[in-house]
Amino acid sequence: MREGHVLAVDQSTQATKAILFDASGQPVRRVTLPHRQLYPAAGWVEHDPLEILDNVKAAVLEVLGASGIPASRVVALALTNQRETVLAWDAVTGLPVHNALVWQDGRGAALCAELAAAGHAGPVKALTGLQLDPYFSASKLAWIVRESPAAGTALRNGRLMAGTIDAWLVWNLTGRRVFATDYSNASRTLLFDLNRLAWSEDLLGLFGLRGLRLPEPRCSDASFGLARFPGLDADLPIAGVMGDSHAALFGHCGWRPGDAKATYGTGSSLMSNLGPAPRAPGDGLVLSLAWGFQGRPAYVFEGNIHSTGYTLRWLRDNLGLFRSYDEAERMAAEAGGNGGVYLVPAFAGLGAPHWSPGTRAIITGLSHGSDRNHLVRAGLESIGFQIADLVVEMDARAGAPLAQLHVDGGPTRNGFLMQFQADLLGIPVVVPAVEELSALGAAFMGGLARGLWSGLDELAGLPVATTEYQPRMEAGERDALLAQWRTAVEQAKSRKVT
């Protein structure tokens, strides 16, 4: 290990975070800048790419200015990002042809349903490892090309560039010199051949995207060029580019086959490392690339939940049931039990293992005795229930049950939720003291690429404080709760809309 720092940018669904890590893997300074959430129609979610780019630049400059660390002592600028969110821009003007369509956006559902009805779901999954679902990027891009006149014109003229948020940031931060993405982000688009590690012309044709200019896929520890910021004493080498959930697994030191983690964010991801060889994920899960490291790919099984942290924000902001997340934790405990109340948070449909985009959220089991505390508890419990559904699916596909679950993300600060999660799973839940595992994982990857750390063994030896939640619930109570939850899910799915 040599002296230096890694600056990690975590461009997430709600905000951009810039976190400066030292050589011991500890965060020394952090800046968070939120960006607007745009909802032009029911089920549509957009971000302004120019606002995100401005926030990234501002966050980098602010965190370095506040820390007093000169850019010349930053060995790498690492990037981790919300994954399936996608945008397209004109190569000549450099401007987006439309707002970015966020991973939650469901406007590609009709196209996915049409392609599935034509028999494409199986072949697409065999090629990409993914469900034919609007959650992933391709149908969103198809909508932009079809509905945006500027996009259609640029595509016909060979000027339309597209990618996930990482590609947009790399292209701009390098002064438009580097147009690249990493394997983990590419594998979430429905346009990437997992076996050839290359974009698929057949899939581009299937989604009506032939002629689209896509970024060069690279290993996560590759060089992504030099980021240039006015006023800094040096350019920042970009290395350690990864999708947020993949970066979190790397931050948990989840490098061995069988290592698993759950990331709780706006939505949530359960991910299990498969190693260097892909395996069929079955119907409930998907197969993705974890990362490329030292020239070798690693694969993961993954299950994605659309609404976890978002559920708490909805209860707070839309219903006004509490003011702070600490208050929500207290209310859930004061309820004394869930009172038979269940919230199925299908605000953007249900993700894994159900893959039901037309399902909408419901609350069931209300009675005269139900109150605000029960609703808040139902929201928190819905997070634990959804993770538990995925663990069951993951255990079945992996052939062996998880012995423990490593977790990260903002909701892990909620002690009620973490204890409930351990109780539902019947295994320990391990929470690290460093909450921002996506940023830490990207920093680890970038630092390894640039020689700040000598290898994985050195990273594994860094001190990490954790809190471990042990299961306390009796098996009979757990089974009854899970059975009632699954009944509520089936009720929600029976009201599916098109």
Residue 20 lies in a domain: yes
Distance, CA of 221 to CA of 242 (rounded, Å): 9
Give the residue numbers spanning the domain of 220. 5-242
Distance, CA of 240 to CA of 447 (rounded, Å): 8
Nearest to residue 352, comparing CAs of 400, 291, 278, 287? 287
How confident is the model at residue 1, as a pLDDT? 56
Residue 56 lies in a domain: yes
How confident is the model at residue 253, as a pLDDT? 83
Residue 51 lies in a domain: yes
Distance, CA of 113 to CA of 439 (rounded, Å): 35
Mean pLDDT across 3-11? 95
Residue 456 lies in a domain: no
How confident is the model at residue 498, as a pLDDT? 59
Residue 459 lies in a domain: no
Mean pLDDT across 41-59? 96
pLDDT tens digits, one per residue of 82-130: 999 999 999 999 999 999 999 999 999 999 999 999 999 999 999 999 9
Distance, CA of 298 to CA of 314 (rounded, Å): 36
CA dihedral 435, 438, 444, 445 (to 10 degrees): 180
How confident is the model at residue 3, as a pLDDT? 83
pLDDT tier at 2, thresholds 50, 70, 90: confident
How confident is the model at residue 179, as a pLDDT? 98
How confident is the model at residue 299, as a pLDDT? 95
Mean pLDDT across 156-175? 97
How confident is the model at residue 252, as a pLDDT? 86
Contact between 197 and 114 (Cβ < 8 Å): no
Distance, CA of 125 to CA of 122 (rounded, Å): 5
Q: Rounded to an integer, what is the distance from CA 444 to the centroid of its chain?
A: 18
Contact between 55 and 32 (Cβ < 8 Å): no
How confident is the model at residue 401, as a pLDDT? 84
Distance, CA of 402 to CA of 426 (rounded, Å): 10
Residue 14 lies in a domain: yes
How confident is the model at residue 408, as a pLDDT? 87
How confident is the model at residue 210, as a pLDDT? 94
Mean pLDDT across 474-484? 95
If residue 205 lies in a helix (H) or strand (E), which one and from where to where?
Answer: helix 201-206
Contact between 92 and 254 (Cβ < 8 Å): no
- Give, as one character, the DSSP assignment of residue 102: P
Residue with tokens 């065999």: 126
User: Count of domains in the chain?
Assistant: 1
Mean pLDDT across 73-82? 97
Most confident of 254-268, 376-390, 395-409: 376-390
Residue 471 lies in a domain: no
Contact between 442 and 402 (Cβ < 8 Å): no
- The token pair that represents 122 in the structure block: 């199986």
Q: Is the pLDDT at 398 greater than 80, yes or no?
A: no
- Kindly report the CATH number assigned to the domain that includes residue 204: 3.30.420.40
Residue 45 lies in a domain: yes
Mean pLDDT of the chain: 93
Name the residue type at position 86: V
Residues whose CB is less than 8 angstroms from the CB of residue 171 and which lie 6 or more positions away in sequence, other chains included: 161, 163, 178, 179, 215
Between these two residues, 260 and 63, which has the higher pLDDT value?
63
Distance, CA of 121 to CA of 128 (rounded, Å): 10
If residue 298 lies in a helix (H) or strand (E), which one and from where to where?
Answer: strand 296-305
Between these two residues, 157 and 2, which has the higher pLDDT value?
157
